[in-house]
């Protein structure tokens, strides 16, 4: 497979991450099918991509897109509740989360990937948008470990430029190259990251976790308030948001 062979992208999970990835993909000219659990969820997903806070309609109002660009992109988007509708996708990325209070659920991801592996055409490439789970562990439940990697976008994925492409010991080098280029076509700055055992996360989250823990320690020791910590990092280091003020968005209706 070559980068030009990727025409249709399947996305599992229609929450904030799935929406952002989907929006980036349709703006890059890819046909996108987003799957989630219920008609209500997928309808909300589609509406959010068009009319949401970071949606296409707002982009027109801000002068970021033309109406022609938005109409063309919106025509490439479809949603479904049926896994069978993803069978002919050339690339499938999973962006599902966990129950309240838990950002992700590894057991659920393994279950979903096993199901997808039996349905989606054998030559398709698979990727997980997991923030920290070891990619080799997820790939192991499929029969395409040579075409399975991580593609970690940052939220909101339609705005943030970073994208970590995580390669395992078994994935084909040409597959890594294809997904690196796919990310660039979607307007992202892609970086290669080696997969390691232990569910420790990748570059961004490993560093951010340490920073957040130290920020929390400052508050717990009574040195400064959370607001003060955030203000120092935003004004002193030009962070767009402080380490203690960042929210976490849901990843769809998956439980």
3-state SS class at 203: helix
Main-chain dihedrals φ then ψ at residue 117, nearest 5 degrees: -60, -30
Q: How many CB atoms lie within 10 A of CB 243?
A: 20
Strand partners, 31: 8
8 is written with which tokens? 């249709």
Report, as residue numbers or ranges, the catalytic residues: 131, 152, 164, 205
Give the whole-angstrom CA distance, residue 78 versus residue 62: 25
Give the whole-angstrom CA distance, residue 139 versus residue 167: 11
Q: Are 131 and 104 in contact (CB under 8 A)?
A: yes
Tell which residue, 43, 46, 16, 44, has the closest CA to residue 32: 46
Q: For residue 68, how far is the Cα from the chain centroid?
A: 26
């Amino acid at each position: 497979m070559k980068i030009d062979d990727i025409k249709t992208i399947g996305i599992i999970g229609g929450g904030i991450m799935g929406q952002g990835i989907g929006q980036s993909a349709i703006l890059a000219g890819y046909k996108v099918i987003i799957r989630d659990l219920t008609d209500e969820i997928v309808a909300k997903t589609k509406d959010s991509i068009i009319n949401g806070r970071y949606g296409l309609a707002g982009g027109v109002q801000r002068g970021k897109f033309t109406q022609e660009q938005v109409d063309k992109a919106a025509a490439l988007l479809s949603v479904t509740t049926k896994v069978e509708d993803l069978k002919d996708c050339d690339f499938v990325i999973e962006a599902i989360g966990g129950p309240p209070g838990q950002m992700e659920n590894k057991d659920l991801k393994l279950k979903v990937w096993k199901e997808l592996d039996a349905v989606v055409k054998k030559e398709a490439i698979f990727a997980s948008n997991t923030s920290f789970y070891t990619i080799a562990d997820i790939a192991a439940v499929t029969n395409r470990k040579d075409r399975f990697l991580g593609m970690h976008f940052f939220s909101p994925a339609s705005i943030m430029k970073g994208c970590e492409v995580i390669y395992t010991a078994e994935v084909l080098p040409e597959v890594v190259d294809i997904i690196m280029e796919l990310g660039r076509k979607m307007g992202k700055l892609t970086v290669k990251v080696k997969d390691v055992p232990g569910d420790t996360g990748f570059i961004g989250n490993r560093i951010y976790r340490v920073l957040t823990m130290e920020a929390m320690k400052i508050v717990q020791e009574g040195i400064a308030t959370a607001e003060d910590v955030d203000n120092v990092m935003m004004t002193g280091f030009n962070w767009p948001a402080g380490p203690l003020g960042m929210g976490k968005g849901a990843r769809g209706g998956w439980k």
